[in-house]
Amino acid sequence: MIVAGIGCRKGATTESILDAIEAAAEASRTQIKDVVLLVTMDDKVGEAGMIEAAKRLRLPLHAFDLAVLRAEDRRVVTRSPITLARYGIGSIAEAAALAAVGQHGQLLTARFMNDQAACALAWKEDE
């Protein structure tokens, strides 16, 4: 199972979110069609660009609260000073992806960013 963890700025466009997902998929030598779930933090799940990206990809969109994401910070590889200062997590995208795959999953890619959105892919073996 491959999941895409997404972080974005307020008002991020659908295209910027899709571009971040595509960049992460390309870097991990996977295809977007292999992604089964989009995940983010709870205050981003209502973003119009996020909702539309999930619709275009025909994927469910799930959100985690900040406490769940902070619990994953020890496994996050990116250390964004801005995200650390604001949320206490190195990368929302990576933490969300890792939370979705659980303790036996792992990152396929560290986050890929553009000017509005970030995406990290995580993987775990199907059970």
Residue with tokens 């973003």: 47
Give pLDDT tens digits for 3-24.
999 999 999 999 999 999 999 9
Sign of CA dihedral 26, 114, 121, 106: positive
> Cα separation of 55 and 116, whole Å?
19
The domain tally of the chain equals 1
Average pLDDT, the chain: 96
Give pLDDT tens digits for 21-45.
999 999 999 999 999 999 999 999 9
Can you give the residue range of the structural domain that contains 51?
A: 2-123
Angle at which helix 48-57 crosses helix 14-27, to 10 degrees, equals: 50
CATH number at residue 64: 3.30.420.180
Instruction: Annotate 81-126 with DSSP letters as a single string.
Output: HHHHHHHS-S-HHHHHHHHHH-TT-EESS--EE-SSEEEEEEE---
